[in-house]
Chain A
Amino acid sequence: MAEMAIKKKRPKNLDIMTIRLPLPGILSILHRISGAVIFLLLPVLLWLFQSSLTSPETFATFKSVVGNPLVKIVLLGLIWLYMHHFCAGIRYLLLDLHKGVDLASARLSSKIVFVVSIALTLIIGAKVLW
Chain B
Amino acid sequence: MVNRIVVGAHYGLKDWIIQRATAIIMAIYTVIFLAVVGAVSPNSFEAWRGIFAGGFMKFITFLFFVSLFYHAWIGVRDIWMDYAKPDGLRLVLMIATAAVLVGYAGWAVQILWRM
Interface residues of A, Cβ cutoff 8 Å to B: 32, 35-36, 38-39, 42-43, 46, 49-50, 52-54, 56, 59, 86, 89-90, 93, 96, 124, 127-128
Q: Which 10 A-B pairs have the closest CB atoms?
A: A59-B45, A53-B115, A50-B111, A35-B75, A39-B72, A56-B45, A89-B23, A39-B76, A46-B107, A53-B49
Say whether B104 contacts A128, CB under 8 Å: no
How close is A109's CB to chain B, nearest CB, in angstroms? 16
Interface of A is mostly: helix
Q: Which residues does B use to contact A, with CB under 8 Å?
A: 20, 23-24, 27, 30, 34, 37-38, 45, 48-49, 52, 72, 75-76, 79, 100, 104, 107-108, 111, 114-115
- Identify B72's interface contact among A32, A35, A59, A96, CB under 8 A: A35
CA distance A36 to B77 in the complex (A): 11
Q: Is the CB of B24 within 8 A of A93?
A: yes
Most buried by B among A53, A54, A96: A53
Cβ of A90 and Cβ of B48 under 8 Å apart? no
CB-defined contacts of B79 to chain A, threshold 8 Å: 32, 36
Q: Are A86 and B30 closer than 8 Å at their CB atoms?
A: yes
CB distance from A128 to the nearest CB of B (A): 7
How far, in whole Å, are A127 and B40 apart by their CA atoms in the complex? 12
